[in-house]
Structure 1
Amino acid sequence: MKYLTIILLILLSANLYGQSNYYSEPLKIPLILSGSFAELRSNHFHSGIDIKTQGVTGIPVYSVADGVVSRIVVSPTGFGKAVYIDHPNGTTSVYGHLENFREDIEEYVKNIQYEKESFRVDLQVPDGSFEVKQNEFIARSGNTGSSGGPHLHFEIRDTESEEPLNPLKFDFPVKDNTPPRIFSVMLVPLSDYSHVDYNAVKKSFPVEFRNGSYHIKGNPIIPVYGQIGFAIQTNDFFDESHNRCGVYSIQLKFDGELYYSFKMDRFSFAETRYINSHIDYGEYNHSRRRFHKTWVDPGNRLSIYEYIRESGILRVTDGNIHHVRFELTDTHGNKSVLDFNIESKSRKVSPPQKEYVELMKYDRENQFRSGGIKIDFPKNAFYTDIPFKYSKKAGWEEFFSDIHTVHDESVPIHTSARMSIETKNIEKHLRPKALLVRVDTVSGLYSTAGGTYKNGWVTGNIRNFGNYAVAVDTVPPRVIPLSINNNGELSETKRIRFRISDDLSGIHIIEGKLDGRWALFEYDAKSNLITHYFDPERFELQKRHQFELTITDYSGNTTTYEASFWK
């Protein structure tokens, strides 16, 4: 059934990708990319391409085809300001991190923001409200949301399934004569008595490019034995850009026979977190290097794999030398090859000691109970069986519980687990402020993990292993005016701005009032900046105003700033 689904998706993709001349460019400047489709990101695959905007915001953005605006999103994170356009061919184009929308769309959005008294909106636009033609101006590029710099995030999705498609399959004019680059390869023992280079732990080998292909430095024949997995560290690059991007396809061949293959034509948002199984998550956690694994965990349900033989695991026990080849391609057909040899050599090795409290199966629900802690893991929370470890120690002075070490932060969790920690010596007036925190015992820093207090326990959802405790947040948010001086005079003529921040639970509610009426503040979470642009259509100007700004965090702590100014 799984392979029938994959075949149907391939046929559907072929039909969509056959429309190669359907779209025009979303920007009328050279399309130079800083990010590619399905590039490896934290907890997700990148769902589109990132187009550079020459280091500035405000570049005009155009609809790539005839269609109707179907959705508009405004958020302090994610895509920031984004427009979705449905097209007659069954696809939807997405334009993210916008600075602003064109005037009629901007006014439509602002009216709803004032009606809902909310900066954050996700609007399903009534059909026909905004019909657009190909190359029609729709917005200006920006740096809103979780953007790391000015650019346009652009996607093409299958409208019905909402699955993102690889935009580079539609022949956008992106210069790319640069093949993927390979940095290192890793060999991993996958059973107790397997070994690599006579050790029962994984080992990475740097590679070099010579004579038209990549080779392991020194050209060694690597001794291995047992069940072996391979992983490769690689990035793709585009012409005129130094940004590291993602590869389109990887194949692993063993003595000329295909063992593993994937292509990044499309994926679903429901499966994107399986990236933590696709990569060597532990290696990334340790070294910040992302390796594509070429074996597939039993709990990995990604649909990107074209062919997998024996789960991609090589069983090397015959005493012979074998040839291993990686073939990597990008969407434009540029190709890189890595060749090396391994030799089956048996030697008795001591497998790593695995001390654990219980074995948790990936394909069933698991519960853990110990003094002061309760955790419920749903079915399929893990990608493989977990030899679960746990310990605890006395909490620090600022904590109201022990510090609980829950397994190992180098092991990923796919779906949220429900965790409760018993509190100690927490006074009644502090209980509503209690929350779970994730603790870095090396740096001494900790961050919120949410949760609420009830009957002596704080309960919340976690999606990472690590150290956890209970703390309280009694400190209100900080508010720093950037446009109003101590005398109540404005230093900016068109707007008022504030820097806001919170130490622990995070900013929850932003409420600005001008002369007693709700005023729209745009919120850029990455820079902790809120901005109100004076609007003569909604507020009378040329008078003295009474202004009040209230910022509330998730623990209910509140800061209020008041001022009177002439505008």
Structure 2
Amino acid sequence: MHFEFRDTKTEKIINPMFFGFDTQVADTKVPVITSIMAYPMDVFSNVNQSQRPLVLNLSLQKDGSYIADKITASGKIGFGISTYDMSDSNYTKTGVYNVQAFSNGTPVFGYQFDTFGFNEARYVNALLDYDRFKRTGMRTQELFMTTPYPLSIIRTTPENGIISVAPNLTQMYKIEVSDFNNNKVDVIIPIDYSTLPITVLNTPSKQTNYLLKSKNDNNYAKDNVSVFIPANTFYEDFYLDFDVKDNVLTLQDDYTPVHSNLTITFEDTTSTEAELEKMFIASIDGKKLSYNPTTRKGNTFVSYTKNLGKFTLAKDTIGPRITPVNIKEGKWLSKQTDLQLTISDNLSGIKEYNGYLNGNWILLEYDYKTKKLVYKFSDNIAADGRNDLKVVVSDNVGNSTIFETHFFRKK
């Protein structure tokens, strides 16, 4: 369970601290800074003679602030921060309330969590250094936008947080991070202009035959496969890795953030009707196949997905597995408070399960982590004496498994 405050006109959630909860949660701790990143923006820019993003060294000062080692740079650059907050009463890591970046004292980029729209939630993929997050698990929040996106919490300038390092200009970049109780920590980054040659080149992005324009609709097709990408599905323009080989679709990779659904279509002209009924569009991860919600019309299969990577048409003809945990056929179970079974499926995944006791539908509670179904006798459906149990489990392509048994119970 959870509670929230919403603006009933906009349906935006409102920070509950505005309603007095800041007085109920003791918080004297300043936010924690875990890392600062520097980002050269293009091939004409560098930081410390590198075109690649760099982690900056930080020194903790006596007043609690941080000073980064002075960087040398030229061209357009930006910064990112990894940070979190904690209160006095527990060790739970939470997001910070406010981040504000300044260049020579002028605000250039920031955000504050006063209110937030659920329809904006996926823009967090644009705020994060998504590639770094997927590869390392580090949540670095970029304090700039290479392509603007409409996240309402952000406050920025026409330069969108990107600063230009030019000759004869000494710059000081500062990041202020604070929580709702105004516990604040500062990070200072001194910047000098440099004409030193670049020694670390950035890995060039792969150029393909398919330049995707993020603001336009995009269609791609090869062999029996097509992909439709609506406008604004991605945050930036890039060269799309698209190919079809041996009935396997390659569509970019998992390190590219996706904002909304794209459409993948496979056509099968060789399988029988019986085979088509058990088929779906699967994602490929090594040797593992996973189900994507798929609709079928004739021999055409369609999936609306935010996934990228490799895809193929897969077939699932094996029904789910049902295993009793504390049920023994023909035994008296009077001392038990519940019945337990585990359910699993080897490919397309569980779609539906139903239980019946003596012909009456019963409520089965499912625990996703343990894959366990639990029926509690407290609903008083069980009869004195013999009880007949039936459990039916179906997967996403219609394979079903039925488990039937009987037991005895005295109320």
The answer to whether the Cα contact below 8 Å between 1:229 and 1:313 also exists between their aligned partners in 2 is yes
Deviations 1:192-238 (A, max 9, x none): 3222222222112243423224435xx53212222212110111111
Whole-Å Cα distance in 1 between the matches of residues 341 and 394 of structure 2?
14
Whole-Å Cα distance in 2 between the matches of residues 239 and 534 of structure 1?
43
| Partner residue of 1:330 out of 170, 176, 179 | 179
What are the ranges of 5 or more consecutive residues in structure 1 without an aligned counterpart? 1-95, 97-152, 395-400
Deviations 1:267-301 (A, max 9, x none): 01111111101111111011100011111353521
1:530 equivalent in alignment to 2:382: no
Whole-Å Cα distance in 2 between the matches of residues 368 and 214 of structure 1?
51
The answer to whether the Cα contact below 8 Å between 1:485 and 1:491 also exists between their aligned partners in 2 is no
Output the amino acid matched with 2:275.
Answer: L
Whole-Å Cα distance in 2 between the matches of residues 279 and 318 of structure 1?
31
**Which range moved further: 166-175 or 556-565?**
166-175
- Return closer, same or farther for 1:424/1:280 CA change in 2, 3 Å cut-off: farther
Whole-Å Cα distance in 1 between the matches of residues 224 and 86 of structure 2?
50
Q: Which residue of 1 aligns with 2:232?
A: 380
Q: Secondary structure at the match of 1:563?
A: strand
- Return closer, same or farther for 1:536/1:312 CA change in 2, 3 Å cut-off: closer
1:203 equivalent in alignment to 2:45: no
Whole-Å Cα distance in 2 between the matches of residues 491 and 307 of structure 1?
67
Q: Secondary structure at the match of 2:119?
A: helix
The answer to whether the Cα contact below 8 Å between 2:278 and 2:398 also exists between their aligned partners in 1 is yes
The answer to whether the Cα contact below 8 Å between 1:484 and 1:491 also exists between their aligned partners in 2 is no
Whole-Å Cα distance in 2 between the matches of residues 458 and 503 of structure 1?
21
- Return closer, same or farther for 1:492/1:364 CA change in 2, 3 Å cut-off: farther
| Partner residue of 1:189 out of 32, 40, 43 | 40
Whole-Å Cα distance in 1 between the matches of residues 110 and 189 of structure 2?
18
The answer to whether the Cα contact below 8 Å between 1:226 and 1:317 also exists between their aligned partners in 2 is yes
| Partner residue of 2:305 out of 462, 472, 476 | 462
1:552 equivalent in alignment to 2:394: yes
Whole-Å Cα distance in 2 between the matches of residues 470 and 187 of structure 1?
42
Q: Secondary structure at the match of 1:175?
A: coil
How far did 1:561 drift? 0.7
- Return closer, same or farther for 1:224/1:408 CA change in 2, 3 Å cut-off: farther
Q: Secondary structure at the match of 1:340?
A: strand
How far did 1:157 drift? 2.2
Q: Which residue of 2 aligns with 1:358?
A: 210
Q: Secondary structure at the match of 2:160?
A: helix
Whole-Å Cα distance in 1 between the matches of residues 363 and 181 of structure 2?
45
Whole-Å Cα distance in 2 between the matches of residues 193 and 183 of structure 1?
29
How far did 1:325 drift? 0.6
Q: Which residue of 2 aligns with 1:71?
A: none
What are the ranges of 5 or more consecutive residues in structure 2 without an aligned counterpart? none
- Return closer, same or farther for 1:426/1:198 CA change in 2, 3 Å cut-off: farther
What TM-score results when the alignment is normalised by the length of structure 1?
0.67
Q: Which residue of 2 aligns with 1:320?
A: 169
1:416 equivalent in alignment to 2:258: no
Q: Secondary structure at the match of 1:231?
A: strand
How far did 1:387 drift? 2.0
Deviations 1:321-360 (A, max 9, x none): 3111110001111101111212222456566433122222
Output the amino acid matched with 2:294.
Answer: G
Whole-Å Cα distance in 2 between the matches of residues 474 and 260 of structure 1?
54
1:177 equivalent in alignment to 2:17: no
| Partner residue of 1:562 out of 400, 404, 409 | 404
How far did 1:564 drift? 1.0
Q: Which residue of 1 aligns with 2:275?
A: 430
Q: Which residue of 2 aligns with 1:268?
A: 117
Output the amino acid matched with 2:306.
Answer: R
Whole-Å Cα distance in 2 between the matches of residues 251 and 181 of structure 1?
15
After superposition, residues 232-311 of structure 1 pair within 5 angstroms as 232-311=81-160
- Return closer, same or farther for 1:345/1:525 CA change in 2, 3 Å cut-off: same
Whole-Å Cα distance in 1 between the matches of residues 344 and 382 of structure 2?
30
The answer to whether the Cα contact below 8 Å between 1:299 and 1:362 also exists between their aligned partners in 2 is no
The answer to whether the Cα contact below 8 Å between 1:412 and 1:464 also exists between their aligned partners in 2 is no
1:512 equivalent in alignment to 2:361: no
Output the amino acid matched with 1:227.
Answer: K
Q: Which residue of 1 aligns with 2:14?
A: 165
1:229 equivalent in alignment to 2:81: no
Whole-Å Cα distance in 2 between the matches of residues 492 and 346 of structure 1?
81
Output the amino acid matched with 1:257.
Answer: T
Number of aligned residues: 404
- Return closer, same or farther for 1:489/1:331 CA change in 2, 3 Å cut-off: same
Output the amino acid matched with 2:58.
Answer: V
Whole-Å Cα distance in 1 between the matches of residues 343 and 9 of structure 2?
40
- Return closer, same or farther for 1:186/1:336 CA change in 2, 3 Å cut-off: same
The answer to whether the Cα contact below 8 Å between 1:299 and 1:382 also exists between their aligned partners in 2 is no
Q: Secondary structure at the match of 1:310?
A: coil
- Return closer, same or farther for 1:205/1:467 CA change in 2, 3 Å cut-off: farther
Whole-Å Cα distance in 2 between the matches of residues 490 and 308 of structure 1?
70
Whole-Å Cα distance in 2 between the matches of residues 541 and 224 of structure 1?
79
Whole-Å Cα distance in 1 between the matches of residues 282 and 58 of structure 2?
41
Output the amino acid matched with 1:278.
Answer: L
**Which range moved further: 451-460 or 229-238?**
451-460
Whole-Å Cα distance in 1 between the matches of residues 341 and 319 of structure 2?
16
The answer to whether the Cα contact below 8 Å between 2:208 and 2:241 also exists between their aligned partners in 1 is yes
Q: Please tell me the root mean square deviation across aligned C-alpha atoms, in Å.
A: 2.2
Q: Secondary structure at the match of 1:261?
A: strand
- Return closer, same or farther for 1:288/1:228 CA change in 2, 3 Å cut-off: same
Deviations 1:424-480 (A, max 9, x none): 864542211111222223xx3232223244454432112022122221122211212
Q: Percent of aligned positions with the same letter in both sequences?
A: 27
Whole-Å Cα distance in 2 between the matches of residues 416 and 469 of structure 1?
18
The answer to whether the Cα contact below 8 Å between 2:364 and 2:373 also exists between their aligned partners in 1 is yes
